[in-house]
Chain A
Amino acid sequence: MSHTLTLRIPLGSHEFAGIAARVLAVDRELKQSQVQRTVESDGDELAVTFTAASVKMLRTSVSSFLEFAGLVAQTLAEFGSVDAE
């Protein structure tokens, strides 16, 4: 699997990056033999590395991941800084 890509997504705080990394790491890529992904937090940023067998698989996975990450970022933005109280 020779095609790789690393994304770094700033989320504004250590806490938010940590939450995003944990929730996005849960679902694995559907086609494990074709593409793999690791998700970690690094400071304020989400660090995601994709390794894929083809450019097409890489593009599909990255595209899909960005949509999911966007949703998590939006959830954090809308609910994250308000106390549960």
Chain B
Amino acid sequence: MQTSTKALSGAVADIDDLHHEKLLKAIFNLSLWNFGPDVIDALLELIVSLAASNGKHVDSCLDMLVSNFTPPNKVLDMLKQPRGLEKKERVLPRVHAALKNISELVPMAASRLSSIVLEQMPWKSKRNVDQWSMKRQLIYVENMFKLESGAIREFVGANMLKDVMNVLRDLDVAIGWDDILHDDSSKGVFMIELEDENYADGDEDADADGKLPSTLSEKSLSKNLTAELLDSLMVQTFEHLESSVSNKRLSEVFDTLLSSFKDTVLNTYKSKFTQFVMFYACALDPEHCGTEFASELIDMFVGGHNPLTSRMSAVAYLASFLARGKFLPPAFVASYLGRLVDWCWQYCVMHDGDMNPKLHQVFYSGCQAMMYILCFRMRLMVEIPLLKSQLFCMPIDKIFKHKLDPLKVCLPSIVEEFLKQAKAARLFTSSKTFVFEDLLVSNLSRDFGGLERLDMFFPFDPCLLKNADRSFIRPNYVYWKYVRTTYHEDIDDDDEEDGSDGEVEGAAEFDDDMEEVIISRSYGDNDLEMDEFDYAMNKMSITPRNNSSAGLRMPSRIRPSMSPESL
């Protein structure tokens, strides 16, 4: 095999694509995974020579190399075993080296490679995921990341990243809300962040009594192969981001991710988890990536030329990001909050009209974003004198007392929580009395939210993908449960956990079952039992049980949009 292949390499100029069609087909159908290193080298030399000798062979050569990103099924099965790993190390680096060689000899080949990689993707949207397609997709995406960071990244890197983001989004959208939420319309819209107590006992037949679980559940998702694939791909993506940090390429990667996010994820309201790629990238480099992300979102919101729904979506992302990003310092949050408040106030000055949810959608979404951020961050900000004075100088009360009356229009649950905290902090007290009756939505908020229900869009709600959340998101994430509000009295020092570095702590009352769980310990600590943490989280209720002022639930999980199916 080796000898004949080398002989063919010497005669590539004489190989005719018509007369030697069968020979070429036989060569291009070979799987490198079936051969030893010497034969692989000889075959790849032939492929490179073919591509360089005749432009007509370039596409077929690239096709052949890309098809070798995934091994045959028998090798796929043992990829995690030493034998499989050894084969992988034998084949894939050589394949990528051959792609590099072809790009050097035929510069225009690189522009063809991106589309060929996309065409050969194992999983396409609107297809079911099975175990085989999952394994193939995982190794395929691993190769895409290799291309993104490899020698020819200049030509194909950006496209690889965008294609991966598209795959994540497609998988995300394919996970229907029905898969993870059995909605009981009699219950209200917002549910607690995680499982309800019926599942805490691990009772698989919790619905045996006829009551369907009415909450979002990691357990529900774990039975879903699409979710499992998405989870694994998200982990791969996060690991790739981490390696970009080591290679000092994160800012370059982030630029592409941001562009892809604006094009494909921002306006995909069914996207539940894909956006956490941006979240994690910002967590890895808050100073640059975090700033760039927040700036892009605020610019998109204030940019009057942008479509209405994009602006509303951008401000929802901004609010959720500033609220949930544990890695964002209070001063950072204050600065973007200030820009948001300024815009809202300018809007009030320019519009002297009365309340009209449909006409002033963008304004109400801005106000709701302000309140949402303050619900999470007000306490932190008032504890720092400089930020407190900045906060108190913002024209917040003027905005909320304006004729446009945002307090009446915005989501009642957010308004209620905001008013309570603002009163406790002496930031703002409403002269009107709002009776929400524990409502989470109102007709007015529905009006300003529009068809896409952007009034209930909180894109960085807790991530339910187990592995992605546990190892990557959780250490960087603010859970509502652990937010100290302005009306909570601090508990005794002995009971308080050590919260260093400005981390948000849970000062709220704990359930009895959680007392032994240490929450704010570093997640890198080996002593931390993740299962214990999960168990505790599973039993967690967003409403502190022993809190007499309980009854206020932050809208931490939104109901799926009732609008017609849209991407």
Q: Do A and B bind each other?
A: no
